[in-house]
Chains A and B, each alone.
Chain A
Amino acid sequence: MSNFKENNMGGDSLHGKCHDKKFAVINPTRMCQPMGAVQAMMGLKNAMPLIHGSQGCATYMRFQLIRHYREPIEVASTSLSEKTVIYGGELNLLKALKNISEKQNPEIIGVMSTCLTETIGDDVNGMIKKFKDVNIGKNLPAMVSIPTPSYAGSHVEGYDKAVLSLIKHFARKMIPNNKINIILGNLSPSNLAEIKNIMKDLNVEPILLTDASENLDAPLTEETLELHKFGTSLEELRDTANSNATISVTKHNDSGAKYLEKVFGVKSISGSMPIGIKNTDAFIKSISDAMNVSIPKKIIRDRGRLSDVLVDAHAYNYRRKVAIFGDVDMVIAMARFTHEMGMIVEVLCVGTESPRFKKDLNELIDDMNHKPIVLENKDLHDFGMVLESNPVDLIIGNAYGAQIANRFNIPLFRVGFPIFDRIGAQRISFIGYNGGIKFVDAITNTIIDFYYDEEGYKFADKKLSFDTQSFETHI
């Protein structure tokens, strides 16, 4: 109740009953499908995302992306208005395709639908075909329809659908390329760069789906910026059918991998996000198996360094209670990592519901020998309410967690999307052994900053949650 006592009033609020809240969402933890698709489009070379809907969709998504990455980001809109809603959005979509083709001339245009155009029933594929028919003989961009009705699923499915649509559109069987496809989900450029480093160390050439590592952490140069010059190319998308295997590091983004397996016989492996020791071990092993490569000493040394920092940091971290919210695959992998750090995973909150999350969760519970409180398909208000009665020492999540952390006077360690209240969202690392090292350093220092004095001793007046808990609770 602390929030509602902020100003010594509101004692009669019914917050304690929030768990029977079914209809209203208060401060959501998930975004809509088109956003996920736009995030995937950010990792393509020479591509332009086009949202078929009202201007607000493109503008609001740009706004969120820009304030997170602090980079210029373009998302086009078909700018539908009343009239076009009555007669259908065809004219606007054709005009938009024409304008983008003529002005920016990308190689790929990804057309995302929205709740608006799905509800009026616009046939985007048919419209694209019409556009091609009237422009026969012209050198047109490849145009990919990505169906993303905002009233179904979440941004996680949106990313998945974008990758699936791109693969479906482009993948062609040619000669085997001895590469590996990696489907990533919305990861920070630093995390993506770490995946690429691991591949280099393993001497494996990857096709990343998609690779925003350069596009969203660009240097200050005076190049023209309207199209991304880096990222996954059209040729690479085509070549995905010829790889040895596809690894989906977020299990919820494996539709494209399954498609490649079914149609082209490219093996699909869905794994946990390589966060922490065990998950990274599994990731490296699955690549080494799929590509038949040995694991070099460098990787083993990196692993050793991560173990080393886990030991070094343990005195500060052990039995620290943590609450994590965000996207399903990140949350579950992060939970395992914080468990490896010696923390107690107290509360997990995700905005969606999925059997795969449940399965991963059960495995994690078995390994931890401790059952966290898990909020599925819940919002940040529910999350905050649970923390009222289940105090933690630290929250891990995006910037929207800041007000909850402030309310309980505990630190928020920022990961995920969006992070608009700190600098460097594109450089937050936790993937792989090296990302893990940076993560442990940063999160431990956050704890030291907050709970320890300048001599490095624990503040006597800052009680940790476990000081007041009985030892048996978690064993």
Chain B
Amino acid sequence: MPFKLFDIDKEIPERKKHIYVKDEHNCEIDCNKSTIPGCMTERGCALAGGRGVITGAVKDAIGLVHSPVGCQYYTTGVKRYPSQPQLPNGEIFPIDNFNLKYSFGTDLKEANIVFGGMKKLKEAIIEANKECPFASAIYVNSTCTTGLIGDDVDAICKEMTEKIDKDVVAFNTPGFSGVSQSKGHHITNDAVFDRLVGTKEPPNTTQYDICLIGEYNIDGDLWVIEKYLTEMGLNILSRFSGDASHDELCWMQRSKLNLVRCQRSATYIADLIEEKYGIPYKKVDFFSCEYCSDNLRMLGRHFSLEEESEAVIEKYYGKVKEELEWYKEQLTGKKVYIFSGGPKSWHLSIPLEKELGLDIIAVASQFEHSDGYDKMKARVKEGTTILDDPNSLELEEMILESKPDLILAGIKEKYLSYKYGVPAIQIHSYENGPYIGYEGFLNLAKDIYNNINAPVWKLMEFKTE
């Protein structure tokens, strides 16, 4: 049977369609469906997908959560996406990592729930702007409560945009919308497109202008790619949204080519821009040396910068090649699970096998859709377990059943894995990143090798002899 029902899931047989052991039939995996209540899911909400993933990475915008205090608190500084203070107009934004350091909220109380929170939202927008007049825009996220009580956040934001003469953008991301973070990505893509794209013009343009879409600069990932692309002669006109300034989002329509890095959270906006402005996009993958080289070459061909792209590949691949080969020798045959939030499961499966010698025995994603699972299926060998929305109980059962040598997952799963004596690395926010590109892949290899070979794993049992 290609589908697998875990022992722990025997009372919820509907889980069976979400877990597929790859065979020759290439079965369709059930995905992007509501989670079964109480099954210990690892998924988050639409606010997490919107503010937590996309808008929280913008360096010069005020992120204002329209909610009781909790939603604001929990979305503050939780993701490691650093930013630099340089703005496209040459000015320096007065606060480093403003997006990580500051969160704003309306702190709704009982009376606001009864009588509505719109007045408070207006006042809060005015105050936030007064406190940080240097901010380029204000991004307002609605949440469960404010979605429910029917606060017209769109209308308020429109009114306030005129009043404070600055973009105030509504993101309608009540936590209950959709089945996972994924809905928040979609809502945010649509809002940025509808409200911002096409509203500004870049200071200057070149024939090599590109937008890097779906790259959030986790632990500096974006800066690695940016370095390669800039060195081969491309100009990053806009970033969506790692280390991005608000203005960049407003002139994405002037790009010559859009690159979509995280294809789960950001293909929407690339599609919309292509449809309206006729700008083509390419799905890119810079994880690992091989994918990175392939994609740099592809860009070289597209922009007739073949020599330049080869030079970049030679320069950076050359620096890590030998060391990576050593790691491959050390790591060959180690069994690995990849439990990513979205697409990293299929980004990393082949590179880890081919370039680091690891043996991928399970891949999973919290919120991928069927197109993502198609890629996941295509990129693993038969016998590999593919899971949609895995929960912690299933993870435990898997660990006990086929004790892997390493788990790539998030912080929520990491310590569970440790308790079973299984090394684990954070793949959402990384350990010692960046993990993208050539040097990033080397960082990943180092983290994997050192985690697997930590002396403590041999010291777990008290030996009397």
CB-CB under 8 A from A223, the residues of chain B are 419
Closest residue of A by beta carbon distance from B107: A25
CB-CB under 8 A from A66, the residues of chain B are 411-412, 415
User: Is the CB–CB distance between A76 and B460 below 8 Å?
Assistant: no
Give the contact stretch, choosing among B21-29, B97-105, B203-211, B345-353. B97-105
CB-CB under 8 A from B94, the residues of chain A are 4-7, 9-10, 13
- Nearest chain A CB to B224's CB is how many angstroms away? 24
CB-CB under 8 A from B144, the residues of chain A are 53-54, 114-116, 119
Judged by a CB distance under 8 angstroms, whether A77 is at the interface is: yes
CB-CB under 8 A from B103, the residues of chain A are 26-28
Judged by a CB distance under 8 angstroms, whether B267 is at the interface is: no
Which residues of chain A from 183 to 227 have a CB within 8 Å of any chain B CB?
218, 220-226
User: Is the CB–CB distance between A15 and B419 below 8 Å?
Assistant: no
Q: A23-B123, A24-B106 are in contact. Are A59 and B44 (CB under 8 A)?
A: yes
User: Is the CB–CB distance between A71 and B179 below 8 Å?
Assistant: no
Across the interface, B145 reaches (CB within 8 A) one of A30, A81, A98, A116, namely A116
Give the contact stretch, choosing among A31-39, A171-179, A240-248. A31-39
Q: A3-B95, A31-B73, A220-B419 are in contact. Are A23 and B124 (CB under 8 A)?
A: yes
- Nearest chain A CB to B43's CB is how many angstroms away? 5
Judged by a CB distance under 8 angstroms, whether A64 is at the interface is: yes
Which residues of chain B from 111 to 164 have a CB within 8 Å of any chain A CB?
112-113, 120, 123-128, 130-134, 144-145, 148-149
CB-CB under 8 A from B104, the residues of chain A are 24-26
Closest residue of A by beta carbon distance from B397: A224
User: Is the CB–CB distance between A6 and B95 below 8 Å?
Assistant: yes
- Nearest chain A CB to B132's CB is how many angstroms away? 7
The distance in angstroms between the C-alpha atoms of A104 and B73, with both chains bound, is 30
CB-CB under 8 A from B456, the residues of chain A are 220
User: Is the CB–CB distance between A28 and B34 below 8 Å?
Assistant: no
Which residues of chain B from 397 to 438 have a CB within 8 Å of any chain A CB?
411-413, 415-416, 418-421
- Nearest chain B CB to A46's CB is how many angstroms away? 16
Across the interface, A81 reaches (CB within 8 A) one of B34, B95, B110, B120, namely B34
Across the interface, B177 reaches (CB within 8 A) one of A25, A32, A61, A81, namely A81
Across the interface, A115 reaches (CB within 8 A) one of B68, B72, B420, namely B68
Q: A17-B130, A54-B144, A55-B175 are in contact. Are A25 and B105 (CB under 8 A)?
A: yes
CB-CB under 8 A from A22, the residues of chain B are 123, 127
User: Is the CB–CB distance between B175 and A54 below 8 Å?
Assistant: yes
- With a 10 A CB-CB cut-off, give which of A59, A74, A81, A95 has the most chain B CB atoms: A59
Judged by a CB distance under 8 angstroms, whether A403 is at the interface is: yes
Mask, B316-349, CB within 8 Å of A = 1, is 0000000000000000000000000000000000
- With a 10 A CB-CB cut-off, give which of A54, A74, A98 has the most chain B CB atoms: A54
Judged by a CB distance under 8 angstroms, whether B70 is at the interface is: yes
Q: A3-B95, A81-B178, A400-B77 are in contact. Are A74 and B35 (CB under 8 A)?
A: no
User: Is the CB–CB distance between A220 and B393 below 8 Å?
Assistant: no
User: Is the CB–CB distance between A78 and B37 below 8 Å?
Assistant: yes
User: Is the CB–CB distance between B176 and A80 below 8 Å?
Assistant: yes
Judged by a CB distance under 8 angstroms, whether B57 is at the interface is: no
Q: A9-B94, A72-B416, A82-B176 are in contact. Are A35 and B70 (CB under 8 A)?
A: yes
Closest residue of A by beta carbon distance from B97: A403
CB-CB under 8 A from B271, the residues of chain A are none
User: Is the CB–CB distance between B112 and A151 below 8 Å?
Assistant: yes
The distance in angstroms between the C-alpha atoms of A322 and B274, with both chains bound, is 57
Q: A54-B45, A77-B41 are in contact. Are A32 and B69 (CB under 8 A)?
A: yes
Which residues of chain A from 48 to 103 have a CB within 8 Å of any chain B CB?
50, 53-57, 59-64, 66-67, 70-72, 74, 76-82, 84-85, 92-93, 95-100, 102-103
Q: A25-B104, A79-B36, A99-B36 are in contact. Are A13 and B131 (CB under 8 A)?
A: yes
The distance in angstroms between the C-alpha atoms of A82 and B147, with both chains bound, is 10
Q: A55-B41, A116-B145 are in contact. Are A25 and B92 (CB under 8 A)?
A: no
Judged by a CB distance under 8 angstroms, whether A293 is at the interface is: no
Judged by a CB distance under 8 angstroms, whether A12 is at the interface is: yes
The distance in angstroms between the C-alpha atoms of A15 and B128, with both chains bound, is 10
CB-CB under 8 A from A6, the residues of chain B are 94-96
CB-CB under 8 A from A403, the residues of chain B are 101
Mask, B158-202, CB within 8 Å of A = 1, is 000000000000000011111110000000000000000000000
Across the interface, B78 reaches (CB within 8 A) one of A3, A63, A221, namely A63
User: Is the CB–CB distance between A119 and B148 below 8 Å?
Assistant: yes
Q: A32-B69, A53-B144 are in contact. Are A7 and B92 (CB under 8 A)?
A: yes
CB-CB under 8 A from B413, the residues of chain A are 72
User: Is the CB–CB distance between B73 and A15 below 8 Å?
Assistant: no
The distance in angstroms between the C-alpha atoms of A152 and B111, with both chains bound, is 10
The distance in angstroms between the C-alpha atoms of A419 and B167, with both chains bound, is 35
CB-CB under 8 A from A225, the residues of chain B are 396, 416, 419
- With a 10 A CB-CB cut-off, give which of A15, A82, A400 has the most chain B CB atoms: A82
Which residues of chain B from 33 to 49 have a CB within 8 Å of any chain A CB?
34-48
Closest residue of A by beta carbon distance from B173: A56
Judged by a CB distance under 8 angstroms, whether A314 is at the interface is: no
CB-CB under 8 A from A23, the residues of chain B are 106, 120, 123-124, 126-127
The distance in angstroms between the C-alpha atoms of A403 and B421, with both chains bound, is 35
Judged by a CB distance under 8 angstroms, whether A14 is at the interface is: yes
The distance in angstroms between the C-alpha atoms of A192 and B416, with both chains bound, is 23
User: Is the CB–CB distance between A77 and B73 below 8 Å?
Assistant: no
- Nearest chain A CB to B138's CB is how many angstroms away? 10
CB-CB under 8 A from A18, the residues of chain B are 131
Across the interface, B110 reaches (CB within 8 A) one of A13, A82, A149, A218, namely A149
User: Is the CB–CB distance between B96 and A28 below 8 Å?
Assistant: no
User: Is the CB–CB distance between A74 and B40 below 8 Å?
Assistant: yes
Judged by a CB distance under 8 angstroms, whether B227 is at the interface is: no
The distance in angstroms between the C-alpha atoms of A288 and B75, with both chains bound, is 45
Judged by a CB distance under 8 angstroms, whether B449 is at the interface is: no
User: Is the CB–CB distance between A55 and B45 below 8 Å?
Assistant: yes
Judged by a CB distance under 8 angstroms, whether B392 is at the interface is: yes
Judged by a CB distance under 8 angstroms, whether A154 is at the interface is: yes
Closest residue of B by beta carbon distance from A7: B92
User: Is the CB–CB distance between B12 and A99 below 8 Å?
Assistant: yes
Judged by a CB distance under 8 angstroms, whether A120 is at the interface is: yes
Mask, A427-452, CB within 8 Å of B = 1, is 00000000000000000000000000
- With a 10 A CB-CB cut-off, give which of A8, A23, A26, A56 has the most chain B CB atoms: A56
Judged by a CB distance under 8 angstroms, whether A150 is at the interface is: yes
Across the interface, B108 reaches (CB within 8 A) one of A28, A92, A151, namely A151
Which residues of chain B from 367 to 400 have a CB within 8 Å of any chain A CB?
392-393, 396
CB-CB under 8 A from B72, the residues of chain A are 25, 28
CB-CB under 8 A from B108, the residues of chain A are 115, 151
Across the interface, A50 reaches (CB within 8 A) one of B38, B134, B178, namely B38
CB-CB under 8 A from B69, the residues of chain A are 25, 28, 30-32, 150, 154
Q: A28-B105, A103-B393 are in contact. Are A7 and B85 (CB under 8 A)?
A: yes
- With a 10 A CB-CB cut-off, give which of B104, B134, B176, B456 has the most chain A CB atoms: B176
Which residues of chain B from 450 to 465 have a CB within 8 Å of any chain A CB?
456, 460
Judged by a CB distance under 8 angstroms, whether A229 is at the interface is: no
The distance in angstroms between the C-alpha atoms of A50 and B41, with both chains bound, is 12
Judged by a CB distance under 8 angstroms, whether B11 is at the interface is: yes
- Nearest chain B CB to A183's CB is how many angstroms away? 23
CB-CB under 8 A from A30, the residues of chain B are 69, 73
User: Is the CB–CB distance between A99 and B113 below 8 Å?
Assistant: no
| B interface list, Cβ under 8 A from A | 8, 11-12, 34-48, 64, 67-78, 85, 91-96, 101-110, 112-113, 120, 123-128, 130-134, 144-145, 148-149, 174-180, 392-393, 396, 411-413, 415-416, 418-421, 456, 460
Q: A24-B104, A103-B11 are in contact. List 9 more A-B contacts (CB 8 A).
A: A7-B93, A7-B94, A14-B131, A28-B76, A32-B71, A54-B45, A63-B78, A116-B176, A119-B149
Nearest 7 pairs of A and B residues by beta carbon: A56-B45, A96-B38, A32-B70, A10-B94, A54-B175, A60-B74, A23-B123
In the assembled complex, 11 residue pairs joining A and B whose CB atoms fall closer than 8 Å, in A order, are A14-B131, A14-B133, A27-B103, A32-B73, A59-B412, A66-B415, A67-B411, A79-B36, A82-B177, A99-B12, A154-B69
